[in-house]
Amino acid sequence: MKFTLKDKPTVFIIFGGTGDLAWRKLVPALYNLYIDKWMPKEFAVIGNGRSKLSDDDFRETLKEGVDQFSRRGKVDNEVWNNFSKHLYFQSADIKNVSTYKDLGKRIRAFKKEWKGDVNVIFYLAVAPRFFTTIAENIAAQKLATDVAHSRIVIEKPFGHDLESARELNKLLCGMFDESQIYRIDHYLGKETVQNIMTFRFANAIMEPVWNRNYIDHVQISVSEQLGVGGRGGYYDEAGALRDMVQNHLLQLLCLVAMEPPVTFDADEVRNRKVDVLHAMRRFHAEDLSHMVVRGQYGPGWIEGDEVPGYRQEDGVNPESNTETFAALKFFIDNWRWQGVPFYVRTGKRMHQSASLVTIQFKDVPHYVFPNASNENWQQNRLVMSIQPEMSIRLQVQAKRPGLDMTINPVDMVFDYKGTYDTDTPEAYETLLLDTMVGDQTLFMRGDQVEAAWELLMPVLNAWESKQSLNFPNYSADSWGPEIAEALIARDGFHWFTLPVDKIKK
Ligand code: BG6
């Protein structure tokens, strides 16, 4: 479907044009799409911000961002000059009606110049408190009445809880059609995440074993070495559950657990994902003590550098009760997954940065080899490594070469680096292209967002209403609090990590 863009002139408006997201992600992504010839012949990117910048100042600032953050490294000056002619700055306050009248004029001028249908994308790369103002003004000025060609892109977090997410959905759906609303979850744009569906549904050998008959349990682990950095103010209001689990981790879980869609149509895929969220077992107050764990990092050392504890980070309340680590055990009450635990964990300032989806298969029904041969026995395991290594490993047992019978686990590996020469596009390249093309498959639908909030509300409420007495409960450079080990050890399992020597960045 993506090829259709070539003939579709596009005006791409970024609210928060001088912000971090535009600088690090959005403009480098547009630049790379331009190099790879995905951008239409006629396009304009208008950055909105309050700074007093000329178009040239704006272009110069963005060039620094692209130099630093483009996957291709520093810009090629000639290419940049051609690309940057399409960039414009609008110095104007998002609270003023005149800002939107001016945008209307600019859009009309481009439409007149380019003729035919013009896509208009409104990208809200701003703090959530501005979403309403911007959306209302766009609607009031009738800038998005052409449903087929105008779209509004909303960054996460989408709501702070179920109630606020419902309100935001209601507000947006009152002004725009659902087909115009693109709720971003950047994990869905990652190549390795997109590949989960391909791996499952393009290989006939997967489906027969992808169920409770063969799978023992599933682990989804996203650990980060980074702390909260300069985002303490935002993070202290959010915490790991809102920041990572409600969106990225539950989306990964849905991709692992969904039923095969009939087609690759956006709504068909999203229906199957939302089915998973609906089938997930609800948490009751009495379950929480053995189904969920929270943690907060204390000070420590990471790779030789001393790092502060969470409560000492800028913008964070020194007595904060916010979790920087969360681990949960989920069940999906449906035919395919009944009784199979899904363990999910995420945390900041952990020992390793690694995102892994691990499928642990059941053991062989009968052991036929001599007892001495099984020192390293391990059940089959499929590890989908999302990042930094991009790979899929199927761990199987093999006979170690030699005259005695020794069995040990070996990996059958598909790794992107070794398989493909081409550079992998950044998640935002995929997602921005999809907004321009009008493909919502990798975006969250309103009901999906609400279902995810609904599932987590009992945990959020319990954690908010009860101060943790033992925060901080893990030190930087660890694997999180000890009780997170207990959460999974109680069932006879342990958290799986990739040995450092296996990680190829
Ligand atoms: C963001 C969170 O959505 O995802 C951050 O707000 C987190 O806290 C980031 O660090 C992780 O994204 P990635 O792509 O680096 O894994």
Quick one: 188-363+446-502 is in which CATH superfamily? Dihydrodipicolinate Reductase; domain 2 (3.30.360.10)
pLDDT number for residue 4: 55
337 neighbors 260 (Cβ within 8 angstroms):
no
Residue % of the chain over a pLDDT of 90: 90
Q: Which of ligand 1's atoms lies nearest the C-alpha of 228?
A: 8
- pLDDT band, residue 264 (cuts 50/70/90): very high
* Choice between 332 and 229, residue whose per-residue pLDDT is larger: 332
Q: Please state the rounded mean pLDDT for residues 101-124.
A: 95
pLDDT for 486 equals: 95
pLDDT at 480 > cutoff 60: yes
Q: Is 345 helix (H, G, I), strand (E, B) or coil?
A: strand
Name all residues whose Cβ lies below 6 A of ligand 1. 156, 224, 243
Ligand 1: residue whose CA is nearest its atom 4: 244
Q: What is the pLDDT of residues 159-187, one digit of tens each?
A: 999 999 999 999 999 999 999 999 999 99
Q: Exposure of 286 by Cβ count < 10 A (0-12 exposed, 13-18 middle, 19+ buried)?
A: exposed
151 pLDDT exceeds 80? yes
Query: Which pairing describes strands 10-15 and 43-49: parallel, antiparallel, or unpaired?
Result: parallel
Mean pLDDT of all residues in 64-85: 96
Options 86, 149, 217, 248, the catalytic residue? 248
* The ligand 1 atom nearest the CA atom of 235: 8
Task: Assess whether the previous peptide bond of 388 is cis (omega < 30° from 0).
Answer: yes
Residue 100 to residue 122: CA distance in whole angstroms:
11
Q: Which of 158, 223, 244 to mutate to test the pocket of ligand 1 (most atoms within 8 A of CB)?
A: 244
Q: Report the top-level CATH class of 2-155.
A: alpha beta
Give the separation between CA 75 and CA 69, rounded to whole angstroms. Answer: 10
* CA angle (394, 399, 403) in 5-degree steps: 165
The predicted-structure confidence for 212-221, as pLDDT tens digits, reads as follows: 999 999 999 9
CA–CA distance from 188 to each of 195, 248, 296, 344, 441 (Å)? 10, 8, 27, 17, 9
pLDDT given for residue 502 in this prediction: 61
pLDDT at 397: 94
- Amino acid 372: pLDDT: 84
Tell me if 432 sits within 8 A of 33, measured CB to CB.
Answer: yes
* Residue 285: closest CA among 423, 459, 412, 75: 459
Nearest by Cα to 138 from 87, 167, 102, 89: 102
Using alpha carbons, select from 150, 113, 123, 117 the residue that is nearest to residue 7.
117
According to the annotation, is 502 in a ligand binding site? no
Closest CA to 117 of 31, 5, 193: 5
Q: Please state, rounded to an integer, the average pLDDT across all residues of the chain.
A: 94
Q: What is the residue with the minimal CA distance to atom 5 of ligand 1?
A: 243
* Mean pLDDT lowest among 186-190, 206-210, 406-410, 442-446: 406-410
- pLDDT higher than threshold 90 for residue 374: no
**Whether residue 2 has pLDDT greater than 60:** no
Task: Please report the atom of ligand 1 found closest to the CA of residue 224.
Answer: 10
Closest ligand 1 atom to the C-alpha of 222?
Answer: 16
Could you give the residue range(s) of every CATH 3.30.360.10 domain in the chain? 188-363+446-502
Quote the Cα angle for 190-195-196, to 5°.
Answer: 105
- CB burial class (10 A; 0-12, 13-18, 19+) of residue 7? exposed
Q: Is 163 a known ligand-binding residue?
A: no
Residue 224 marked in a binding site? yes
Each residue's pLDDT tens digit, 25-61 = 999 999 999 999 999 999 999 999 999 999 999 999 9
Confidence of residue 371 (pLDDT cuts 50, 70, 90): confident
Alpha helices in 350-490 (DSSP H): 416-419, 427-437, 446-465, 482-489
Helix axes 162-175, 446-465, angle to 10 degrees: 150
Q: What is the 3-state secondary structure (H, E, C) of 72-90?
A: CCCCCHHHHHHHHCCEEEE
- Containing H/E element for 201? helix 191-201
Per the annotation, does 417 bind a ligand?
no
Determine contact, residues 479/351, Cβ cutoff 8 Å.
Answer: yes
Name the residue of 185, 243, 316 to mutate for ligand 1: max ligand atoms within 8 A of Cβ.
243
Percent of the chain as helix, strand, coil, to the nearest 5: 40, 20, 35
pLDDT tens-digit series, residues 84-94: 999 999 999 99
Q: Which residues in the chain are classed under CATH 3.40.50.720?
A: 2-155
Q: How far apart are CA 228 and CA 234, in angstroms?
A: 9
Pair of tokens at residue 277: 């969220």
What is the DSSP track for 122-169?
EEE-S-GGGHHHHHHHHHHTTTT--TTTEEEEEPSP--SSHHHHHHHH
Q: Can you tell me which residue has the tokens 């998005």?
A: 144
In this predicted structure, the answer to whether residue 3 has a pLDDT above a threshold of 90 is no
**What pLDDT does residue 1 have?**
45
Helices marked H in 19-96 — which ranges? 20-21, 27-35, 55-69, 77-84
Q: Is 217 a catalytic residue?
A: no
Stated length of the chain = 505
User: What is the pLDDT confidence band of residue 422, given thresholds at 50, 70 and 90?
Assistant: confident
